[in-house]
Amino acid sequence: MYMSCLFAYLPQSSDASLRQMLKVALNARATNVVCFDTLAALLESCQLDGPDWVVLDVDTKDGDIDELLTIMTRVTHAQWVLLTDGAPFPAWNHHAQDMAAMVFRRPIDKQAFQRLVIDQVYSEDRGQSQGTPVMTSQADQYGYLLGSSSPMQALYRQLQRLGPTKANVFIIGESGVGKEHVAKTLHGLGRPTDIGEMDMRSQGGDAPFMAVNCGALSPELIESELFGHVKGAFTGAHQDHQGIFYQAEGGTVFLDEITEMPQSLQVKLLRVLESGEYRPVGSTRNQQANVRLLAATNRDAREAIQQGKLREDIYYRLAQFVVTVPPLRARGDDIHALTTHFLAELNFNHQTTVSISDNALEHVQRYHWPGNVRELKHAIEHGFLLSNGCIEVTDLPASVMVDDPSTAVETLALPEGISLDELEKAAILQTLARYQGNRQRTAKALGISSKTLYNKLQQYHALSSD
């Protein structure tokens, strides 16, 4: 079992209670704590070994401070904990910021030291030993799709029949269910030249699959993206451009979020569906499209038609067959299987042995997953990055935790007129409290660097002192 290594140099002039706290940690064998009698001995060991934590009194006068500053620069993987009386020392401040070090100023808050140092060292060791590492996936797979629940098996059977045809397919499902994976699976199943042929003949590895998100491009660009343009067709058109329909020759074009396509372009798409012809922007000649069209939306198709988001004639042309992808909450045990799949992939890619606790796994299975498979994958990645070797409930995103009253994060009360600076401060301090003062995990959760977090906390400390 891996145990964290903590180096400490606290001379007799340091607070005796802090030395006692470290001795307790050593006696409890919760971690490997090495106490040094001299600063020189600590510096030598830091160069030879790789401590996870270094606790030292920076006010000492018995060592080479310049050498210590140099070693701090080299030992970047360790969490540095510095004890000081608070006297201005620019060199220390510079290194403390760059290393995201914890700086305790005298008189030292013993509870804060226990919570931010001792407890965190304990939690790292416990995290490394909890649970069985997830190294294998339990998710069955069909094409690009994962899962073996009854709704997914029904989907697979439908795709098996539709894949080898050249029929247009309209894919419907909530955001994050994997509509593009369905499209890629259909593409991979092949497309014979005649809709009646069902010999599973493959398109071949060279058949292109071209996907475009209709809601991600501006109305001015999407026509050129789909159909191409000729040189001089508009300002900035310095050369001919071949569109997606040309690039996908003999393959598949997947139009994601088609209800976001401008009505004017839907009319031109209708011509492609009816005659197989399209015209590049600025051209006077038609070109023939030889592609299979797949489209998808997360809207209700009927409502989209009523709201004017989708032309009815377009829908019926595309919807030769309609495939509905089930939401994750309706897939039962697939949630557990997908969790193991994503975590096993992360362990393989990062050469780690991270596990997930029974409590966290139970919570994952109980959550309703409005963001579906995409949200689950991001949640496991989030927990993987924040864990100490075992994903706990508190390592999962706050949005996932709110379903569990025992781990729910308190909602911030926002008084009328609160400034953005005050809102930022509240978010930082609340996240810091949630992770029990661990600044590295707090910075990751907030999406900022450790240095930025340190600067913010120093700013709040200064304002509090004032």
What is the pLDDT at residue 356? 94
413 within domain boundaries? no
What is the pLDDT at residue 396? 92
Do 278 and 161 reside in the same domain of the chain?
Answer: yes
Question: Can you give the CATH number for the domain in which 78 is found?
Answer: 3.40.50.2300
- Other C-beta atoms closer than 10 Å to the C-beta of 197 total 14
Do 270 and 360 reside in the same domain of the chain?
Answer: no
Question: Where does a domain end: 293, 325, 357?
Answer: 325
410 within domain boundaries? no
What is the pLDDT at residue 198? 38
Do 337 and 303 reside in the same domain of the chain?
Answer: no
Do 252 and 387 reside in the same domain of the chain?
Answer: no
What is the 3-class SS of the chain, one letter each residue? CCCCEEEEECCCCCCHHHHHHHHHHHHCCCCEEEECCCHHHHHHHHHHCCCCEEEEECCCCCCCHHHHHHHHHHCCCCEEEEEECCCCCHHHHHHHHHCCCEEEECCCCHHHHHHHHHHHHHHHHHHHHCCCCCCCCCCCEECCEECCCHHHHHHHHHHHHHCCCCCCEEEECCCCCCHHHHHHHHHHCCCCCCCCCCCCCCCCCCCCEEEEECCCCCHHHHHHHHHCECCCCCCCCCCCECCHHHHCCCCEEEEECHHHCCHHHHHHHHHHHHHCEECCECCCCCEECCCEEEEEECCCHHHHHHCCCCCHHHHHHHCCEEEECCCHHHCCCHHHHHHHHHHHHHHHHHCCCCEECHHHHHHHHHCCCCCHHHHHHHHHHHHHHHCCCEECHHHCCHHHHCCCCCCCCCCCCCCCCCCHHHHHHHHHHHHHHHCCCCHHHHHHHHCCCHHHHHHHHHHHHHHHHC
Q: Which two tokens stand for residue 54?
A: 């270094």
304 within domain boundaries? yes
What is the pLDDT at residue 153? 94
Do 318 and 365 reside in the same domain of the chain?
Answer: no
Do 163 and 220 reside in the same domain of the chain?
Answer: yes
What is the pLDDT at residue 186? 95
99 within domain boundaries? yes
Question: Where does a domain end: 296, 325, 354?
Answer: 325
141 within domain boundaries? no
Residue 195: closest CA among 163, 157, 167, 161: 167
Do 182 and 295 reside in the same domain of the chain?
Answer: yes
What is the pLDDT at residue 414? 53
Do 186 and 76 reside in the same domain of the chain?
Answer: no
Whether the per-residue pLDDT at 261 is higher than 70: the answer is yes
Residue 350: closest CA among 384, 312, 393, 398: 384
Mean confidence (pLDDT) of the chain: 81
Question: Can you give the CATH number for the domain in which 356 is found?
Answer: 1.10.8.60
Burial of 358 (0-12, 13-18, 19+ CB in 10 A): exposed
Number of domains in the chain: 4
Whether the per-residue pLDDT at 212 is higher than 80: the answer is yes
Model confidence at 462, in pLDDT bands (50, 70, 90)? low
| Domain containing residue 454 | 420-465
What is the pLDDT at residue 201? 37
**pLDDT more than 90, % of the chain:** 33
Do 183 and 113 reside in the same domain of the chain?
Answer: no
Model confidence at 62, in pLDDT bands (50, 70, 90)? low
> Which letter, b or e, does each residue of 54-78 get, where b requires 16 or more Cβ atoms within 10 Å of its Cβ?
bbbbbbbeebeeeebeebbeebeeb
Model confidence at 39, in pLDDT bands (50, 70, 90)? confident
Model confidence at 327, in pLDDT bands (50, 70, 90)? very high
Lowest mean pLDDT among 7-11, 29-33, 228-232, 328-332: 29-33
Residue 207: closest CA among 321, 320, 290: 290
Do 211 and 290 reside in the same domain of the chain?
Answer: yes
Question: Can you give the CATH number for the domain in which 428 is found?
Answer: 1.10.10.60
Average pLDDT over every residue of 258-280: 89
What is the pLDDT at residue 297? 94
**Which range scores top for mean pLDDT: 4-18, 58-72, 275-289, 339-353?**
339-353
Do 108 and 165 reside in the same domain of the chain?
Answer: no
205 within domain boundaries? yes
Average pLDDT over every residue of 127-147: 82
Do 28 and 101 reside in the same domain of the chain?
Answer: yes
**169-206 confidence digits (pLDDT tens):** 999 999 999 999 999 999 998 744 444 443 333 444 57
Cα–Cα distance for residue pair 414/419, rounded to 1 Å:
10
- Structural Rg of the chain based on CA atoms: 30
Lowest mean pLDDT among 133-137, 231-235, 319-323: 231-235
Question: Where does a domain end: 303, 325, 347?
Answer: 325
**335-374 confidence digits (pLDDT tens):** 999 999 999 999 999 999 999 999 999 999 999 999 999 9
Residue 431: closest CA among 415, 419, 446: 446
Lowest mean pLDDT among 56-65, 230-239, 359-368, 431-440: 56-65
Q: 38 or 214: which carries more pLDDT confidence?
A: 214
306 within domain boundaries? yes
What is the pLDDT at residue 371? 93
Q: 326 or 205: which carries more pLDDT confidence?
A: 326
Half-sphere exposure of 399 (CA within 13 A, CB side): 11
Q: 246 or 437: which carries more pLDDT confidence?
A: 246
**399-409 confidence digits (pLDDT tens):** 887 554 444 34
What residue has token string 């540095």?
80
Question: Can you give the CATH number for the domain in which 217 is found?
Answer: 3.40.50.300
What 403-412 contacts at long range (C-beta under 8 Å, 24+ apart), as own/partner pairs, is 403/363, 403/366, 403/367, 403/368, 404/363, 404/366, 407/363, 409/434
Q: 148 or 37: which carries more pLDDT confidence?
A: 148
* Phi-psi sector, 168: left (phi>0), alpha (psi -120 to 50), beta: beta
68 within domain boundaries? yes
Whether the per-residue pLDDT at 310 is higher than 70: the answer is yes
What pairing do the DSSP bridges indicate for beta strands 321-324 and 252-256? Answer: unpaired
Q: Which two tokens stand for residue 46?
A: 């830091």
Cα–Cα distance for residue pair 287/244, rounded to 1 Å:
12
Whether the per-residue pLDDT at 281 is higher than 50: the answer is yes
